[in-house]
Amino acid sequence: MFEHVHGRAGEVLSRDDYLTDFSRVHASDIDLLAKIERGQSFQEPGSPSWEAFAAGDWPAALRLMEDEREPIASYFRDTSARGLTFRRLRVVEFPVSPYVQWEMHLLRLRAELGERIRVLPAGEIAELERDAKLPEVVVLGRSVMYTVIYDAEGKGAGARRFTDPGLIRATVAEFKDLYARGESIAAFFEREIAPLAPPAVRRPSAQLPASSAH
């Protein structure tokens, strides 16, 4: 699955160019935003909730996440009025990583406010990942698709941009197949995430010199 994506070069965009292009296409007349998330640990500097989580302050991370409720609600009110549907498939490995545990709280909030999110255990797609893991894909409408690029630390570093209609149609078809196999995030969260203790986040040792902690 997604063999048509693996190995394709696409147009490589820097992070800034990707965000600019994404915003331009997102603001156009599209009806679908489809996203596959496969990685189990990312860094999201600039997110107050993620930064609190990364610092080991779980109560603050959840509190700051709740502060995002109205901006997220506003975004989904706008997309709904435009006829844009946002579907996300989140692949999860077990045991759940600290990052995914944090993100699941955010995704549950986003689902409450309008995003259509399903969760699929990685074990259920093992046969599809014999040669390579699923790509981190973002599809905007029927005209543009990206595979997101991350650096070694898990920070967004840009994307590969594709505009071939046949490639995008094939990707959307395979996304729909996987999405249909997923479980609602509400059910997954209550069973797998809600019972978990706060995640243990490894932080740099205070004994290390500052230059070695980055």
Map out the domains of the chain with their CATH numbers.
11-198 (3.30.870.10)
pLDDT by residue (tens digit) across 83-135? 999 999 999 999 999 999 999 999 999 999 999 999 999 999 999 999 999 99
Q: How confident is the model at residue 172 (pLDDT cuts 50, 70, 90)?
A: very high
186 pLDDT more than 60:
yes
Give the mean model confidence (pLDDT) for residues 143-155: 94
- Residue 202's pLDDT is 73
Q: Which of 61, 63, 34 shows the shortest CA–CA distance to 49?
A: 61
- Residue 3's pLDDT is 74
Q: 97 near 175, Cβ under 8 Å?
A: no
Q: How confident is the model at residue 205 (pLDDT cuts 50, 70, 90)?
A: very low
214 pLDDT more than 50:
no
Q: How confident is the model at residue 206 (pLDDT cuts 50, 70, 90)?
A: very low
- Residue 208's pLDDT is 35
- Residue 7's pLDDT is 65
Q: When comparing pLDDT for 9 and 137, which is higher?
A: 137
Phi/psi for 171 (5° steps) reads: -65, -45
β-bridge pairing 11-14 and 156-162: antiparallel
Q: When comparing pLDDT for 212 and 101, which is higher?
A: 101
64 pLDDT more than 90:
yes
Average pLDDT, the chain: 92
